[in-house]
Homo-oligomer: A and B are copies of this chain.
Amino acid sequence: MKRNLGHLLSRAHDRAGRWMAAALAEAGLAGLSPSHGDVLARLFGRGVATMRELAAFAGRTKATTTVLVDKLEALGYVRREASERDARSVLVRLTPAGEALRPAFRSISRRFCAFLYAGLTREESETLERLLEKSLSRDEDPTA
């Protein structure tokens, strides 16, 4: 035990982020970040979502999500709509151009998994996921 879990997490996270940024660029989506990918992934799964849902899914704040959606909207991949049920709420939906990204995203997603789990056996992969989930599942700040 080297007690360097912090460093390992940092390196693993950085590497995953770099891989994803490169993959997005390679797919003709230069300028999009992994967080933009999270937003799109959510829309591919649900079709429509509020800003709040997108923020929660991407693990970013509302403010950041506003900027992320601004960019996707400027690029023509999504559009904002007013919600009928709640006038405060904004619904984000894929445009046809956004829908057209779906196959590229499936490919990226599949290769991303292959990248992340490369070098690990199936059993090791499951163990790694289980331990990370266990580590994350306790109360938010046990030292407070």
**A135 contacts B120, CB within 8 Å?**
yes
**B6 contacts A9, CB within 8 Å?**
no
The verdict on A136 contacting B11 (CB below 8 Å), with A127-B127, A127-B131 known, is: yes
**B125 contacts A1, CB within 8 Å?**
yes
**B131 contacts A135, CB within 8 Å?**
no
Specify which of B8, B11, B137, B143 is in contact with A129 (CB 8 Å cutoff).
B8
Map CB proximity to B onto A107-144 as digits: 1 under 8 Å, 0 otherwise.
00001111111111010111111011111111001110
Q: How many residues of A contact B (CB 8 A)?
A: 48
Residue of B nearest to A117 (CB): B5
Map CB proximity to B onto A1-40 as digits: 1 under 8 Å, 0 otherwise.
1111111111111111001101000000000000000000
CB A25 to nearest CB in B, in angstroms, measures: 13
**B129 contacts A5, CB within 8 Å?**
yes
